[in-house]
Structure 1
């Protein structure tokens, strides 16, 4: 059993020392040393035996093999994660990019066309989408179908879930997340934005199109506020559908001045916001600079791809304890199941033990996959799929956090936080019900105490125990959740100390965790 146990923990690789283990095994069975060569020769088929890992194994038996756990610990010390990260992808840093904007601004078409121009979608597939979309009477949706893959998304013509794909620029490897723009799917959009480092905000340049997204009820403002509150500091604004207004410079300037003023209020630095005139349908100014004379007379800046390439890669928290927020759980073939999510901090290797919180269950990592390629290790910033065993799939939900058993994440139902309230009409009082969006979690909660109102820039206390909180205020409050949630303090883990509060379909506040109570 030790042999099969050893093979199992190694994933699907048979250890090169396999021959010795067979010798050891035969010796244990009491066969004479002279017989050993015979056993090996007769057992030429032995190397074919590592089908064992694929069998539905008894997980208790799996857990009872202590040795691999120790050796995995040694292996962990042996890896120089920073050097390995530099070697990976030829030294190209990883960038997680989310595409946001009002519904119908052309996000999916823009990115679908960019992926096609980069060769990520072959001509045959593209031709299939074109003919299918024409049959459905939606010829202009062909490129959007590259990212909107479900039947319902295609029927309704709107993105509903976060589509994820990968492409490369000259100096970066980019994980692209196409977030839904419709206000019914903002919770899905928050999940996508929480996993992003940088964002592309797509606005519609057509007459009335920009105004519909930007004025009251549009999603342009809310999306920009959300990504800023979730820690995105660099933003590219793709002013899309410029071909519909004949590439007019006046229209472009009108949009950038309105947006610029708002984005500055939202907390973006002017030097970190970049405006690019584009056309998702015709593909102008996406992967290469446009040659359209109406545009080149007044615009000589970067194309969208060049701008994505120019983003600064963020600092990854590889030195901190391991943290991964689960965004999906599914059953895999064979034993165990898979969880997917973004590694927020630390790194992981196959054969290591992990702790899942809040369920407080441990499991063993059997395999790691990044962009459909199997790996031995993965680090902060990677969107991975982990195959785990030794735990019941029923206990794991979207929003659970997998962490290092030696340094677990804290779990509580009550915590204190600093809130920044948005332009929200109803005053917030004690006992106010909200929906807490944290990482990939969406959890009903209540604001149980209003502790103080703070000065926006200095943070000094202006008023203690206020009766209610109004729009644009900064305050310290206590929040109680219905079920336990795994949280970190903002000062320790910025990625896991941020959250959003929503109420009846609109986002009312962004917050950071300052104190965990119980």
Structure 2
């Protein structure tokens, strides 16, 4: 979470109903806070709420009109959401940055043209302004001739909106999911990039085995997934250092390792 930029966390310790010893629950909370500290989150300050999601759900199923104070487990969910509201800052719309929208879907509307839909990541966009279609194919410039959100016509859209953008002179075959719409001149497509990576272990839901230079996984970037080839890497930290491991350190990455790697994509993608 820290590596991908998650700024704030609220913890919910589930299945409290299955714990008979209150001291055990305190020990689990302490361990969670220590883990948060380990990954550079403020473990002492982060709210930790205990409860039972299943029992809360069952109570709501039996009585959908249940109110705060009527059920212990439902109250725990109220407490969780109160902590989220108070501890997690309200996201600010980045309207002062250049426009960027990752295309999620493309529609062809008879008599009107091609519409690209997606969530505006940042900036603002007005009807009549130019945008560039970046990624996967050659960059193309077009004009916005319409904006629509939830069947309402807009003159302007801004960061945070889920919007449909009508594009002049663009065929459906010219644009696809994974491309981005951006302010002209602000974004370039790249087919090669460097990345800092932590290789998840089997216990963390990751790999069971090491991989070598030449490995070709899928890379998920905004709304696209594209095949890339690992052409080089260097270790930052090895999970299990040894003379044999160090000998192969620039050829093989083990689960639990942290590496810097260089990737060659089969198609160019809009990357910053």
Q: Same fold (TM over 0.5)?
A: yes
List alignment gaps of at least 5 residues for structure 2: 202-206, 239-245
Partner SS, residue 153 of structure 2: strand
Shift of 1:263: 5.0
Partner SS, residue 394 of structure 1: helix
Match of 1:426 in 2: 209
Match of 1:454 in 2: 236
Does residue 473 of structure 1 match 2:257? yes
> 1:248–1:294: 8 Å Cα contact kept in structure 2?
no
Q: Deviations over 1:117-138 (max 9, x none)?
A: xxxxxxxxxxxxxxxxxxxxxx
Structure number with bigger Rg: 1
Q: In the alignment, which of 289, 295, 306 is matched to residue 82 of structure 2?
A: 306
Task: Flag the structure with higher strand content.
Answer: 2
Instruction: Give the TM-score normalised by the residue count of structure 1.
Output: 0.42
Structure-1 separation of matches of 2:152 and 2:79: 30
Q: Deviations over 1:339-359 (max 9, x none)?
A: 222222221112211110123
Match of 1:232 in 2: 6
Shift of 1:441: 1.1
Shift of 1:235: 3.1
Structure-2 separation of matches of 1:280 and 1:374: 39
Structure-1 separation of matches of 2:254 and 2:93: 36
> 1:347–1:379: 8 Å Cα contact kept in structure 2?
yes
Q: In the alignment, which of 408, 412, 424 is matched to residue 190 of structure 2?
A: 412
Shift of 1:265: 4.8
Specify whether residues 301 and 343 from structure 1 end up closer, same or farther in structure 2 by C-alpha distance, changes over 3 A only: closer
Partner SS, residue 6 of structure 2: coil
Instruction: Give the TM-score normalised by the residue count of structure 2.
Output: 0.74
Q: In the alignment, which of 437, 443, 448 is matched to residue 226 of structure 2?
A: 443
Structure-1 separation of matches of 2:216 and 2:101: 28
Q: Deviations over 1:51-88 (max 9, x none)?
A: xxxxxxxxxxxxxxxxxxxxxxxxxxxxxxxxxxxxxx
Asked which structure has the greater RCO (Cα within 8 Å, sep 6+), the reply is 2
Q: How does 1:75-90 map to 2 (within 5 A)?
A: none
Shift of 1:361: 1.8
Specify whether residues 427 and 372 from structure 1 end up closer, same or farther in structure 2 by C-alpha distance, changes over 3 A only: same
Structure-2 separation of matches of 1:439 and 1:384: 16
Match of 2:162 in 1: 383
Partner SS, residue 419 of structure 1: strand
Q: Deviations over 1:168-213 (max 9, x none)?
A: xxxxxxxxxxxxxxxxxxxxxxxxxxxxxxxxxxxxxxxxxxxxxx
Once superposed, what is the RMSD of the aligned Cα atoms? 3.8
Match of 1:319 in 2: 96
Match of 1:515 in 2: none
Structure-1 separation of matches of 2:222 and 2:193: 16
> 2:115–2:165: 8 Å Cα contact kept in structure 1?
yes
Structure-2 separation of matches of 1:411 and 1:241: 46
Shift of 1:443: 0.8
Match of 1:397 in 2: 176
Shift of 1:467: 2.7
Does residue 352 of structure 1 match 2:135? no
Structure-1 separation of matches of 2:10 and 2:225: 28
Q: How does 1:363-382 map to 2 (within 5 A)?
A: 363-382=142-161
Partner SS, residue 85 of structure 2: helix
Structure-2 separation of matches of 1:269 and 1:307: 15
Partner SS, residue 306 of structure 1: helix
Structure-1 separation of matches of 2:214 and 2:5: 28
List alignment gaps of at least 5 residues for structure 1: 1-224, 457-461, 489-518
Specify whether residues 477 and 433 from structure 1 end up closer, same or farther in structure 2 by C-alpha distance, changes over 3 A only: same
> 1:453–1:463: 8 Å Cα contact kept in structure 2?
no
> 1:240–1:280: 8 Å Cα contact kept in structure 2?
no
Specify whether residues 255 and 328 from structure 1 end up closer, same or farther in structure 2 by C-alpha distance, changes over 3 A only: farther
Match of 1:485 in 2: 269
Match of 1:342 in 2: 119
Partner SS, residue 256 of structure 2: coil
> 1:361–1:391: 8 Å Cα contact kept in structure 2?
no
Q: How many residues align?
A: 250
Specify whether residues 437 and 266 from structure 1 end up closer, same or farther in structure 2 by C-alpha distance, changes over 3 A only: farther
